[in-house]
Amino acid sequence: MSVHQLGGSGTDAAAEVLRSIESGRVFDQPRAEAAIRELLIAVGEDPERPGLLDTPGRVARAYREVFAGLYTDPDAVLDTTFDEGHQELVLVRDIPMYSTCEHHLVSFHGVAHVGYIPGPTGRVTGLSKLARLVDLYAKRPQVQERLTSQIADALVRKLDPRGVIVVVEAEHLCMAMRGIRKPGASTTTSAVRGIFQSSAASRAEALDLIVRR
C-alpha cells in the first residue's frame, strides 16, 4: 500500500498523517473532529452529552477510512503483473463496492464487475488487484460515472490491454433515505475501452457474462 506517512516518529499511530496522492492535501484529524462537533451543534445537538462525547473523534476516524482511497496511488495497486501469455477475457464479477456520493456525502453501494483482455504480451495482474482498484476509487467522494471510468482508465494505463469493460451497479442512499425517496432504485454505469468499444460482438459477449446470474 502506498500510504504516505508523515510527521511524528512514523511509529506513533496518533501522529500519522495521510497525504493525498493527487492534491497533496492531508487528512487532518483534529480539523475533522472540530467540524463534526460544529455539525452536531448546528443541528441542535449537545456535543457534551455523554452519548456524543466521543462521536466527533469516531466520525472523523470513520471518514478517514471511508476516504482512504484519496491517499493511495492507483498505479501502485497494479504493480503486480505476470506475463501469462493469456489472450482472452479475465473477468471478476460481483465485487462488493461501498462509495460516497460527493453531492450529499452519503453512501452509494452495490457491486462492480471488472474485465479485460490482455495486450499482445499477455500481461495480467493479480485478481485481487482488480478488487483493490475498485476499493481505492470507491473510497473517495465520488459520482458513479467517474468511479466507473477511473477504474477502466487505470487498467488501460497500467496493463496496456486490448480492451477493458467495467460495469457498476449501485443504490444511492441519497435517492433512498431522503429527497426523492426511491429505495431499491438501481443505477448501472459502464465504461468500455479498446476492443469493447470498437467491437459490438466483444462487448455483447462480455456483457452477457456480466449479467448472467
Ligand X SMILES: Nc1nc2c(ncn2[C@@H]2O[C@H](COP(=O)(O)OP(=O)(O)OP(=O)(O)O)[C@@H](O)[C@H]2O)c(=O)[nH]1
* Part of the chain binding ligand X (CB under 6 A), chosen from 5-13, 80-88, 140-148, 155-163: 140-148
Is 172 one of the binding residues for ligand X (CB under 6 A)?
yes
Q: Which of 70, 101, 112, 138 binds ligand X (CB under 6 A)?
A: 101
Q: Please indicate if the annotation marks 109 as binding a ligand.
A: no
Is 200 one of the binding residues for ligand X (CB under 6 A)?
no
| Minimum CB distance to Zn ion smaller for 31 or for 178 | 178
Is 164 one of the binding residues for ligand X (CB under 6 A)?
no
| Torsion angle in degrees (nearest 10) through CA of 195, 197, 201, 207 | 110
Pair 164, 115: CB distance under 8 Å: yes
Q: Which of 91, 174, 176, 207 binds ligand X (CB under 6 A)?
A: 174
Which partner from the list Zn ion, ligand X, none does 64 bind, CB cut-off 5 to 8 Å by kind? none
CB atoms near residue 212 (< 10 Å):
7
Please enumerate in sequence order all residues whose Cβ is within 8 A of that of 148, keeping only pairs 6 or more positions apart, or say none.
112, 166, 167, 168, 189, 190, 191
Is 60 one of the binding residues for ligand X (CB under 6 A)?
no
Is 146 one of the binding residues for Zn ion (CB under 5 A)?
no
Question: Binding mask 148-177 vs Zn ion (x if CB under 5 A, - otherwise)?
Answer: --------------------------x---
Please enumerate in sequence order all residues whose Cβ is within 8 A of that of 213, keeping only pairs 6 or more positions apart, or say none.
none
Pair 141, 66: CB distance under 8 Å: no
Is 14 one of the binding residues for ligand X (CB under 6 A)?
no
Residues with a known catalytic role: 101-104, 144, 172, 174
Is 37 one of the binding residues for ligand X (CB under 6 A)?
no
Burial class (CB in 10 A: 0-12, 13-18, 19+), 182: exposed
The distance of closest approach from Cβ of residue 119 to ligand X in the complex, given in angstroms and rounded to an integer, is 30
| Torsion angle in degrees (nearest 10) through CA of 119, 72, 96, 112 | -40
What are the backbone dihedrals phi and psi of residue 198, each rounded to the nearest 5 degrees, phi first?
-85, -25
* Spacing of C-alpha 37 from chain mean position: 27
| Minimum CB distance to ligand X smaller for 117 or for 191 | 191
Per CB under 6 A, residues contacting ligand X are: 101, 103, 143-145, 172, 174-175, 179-180
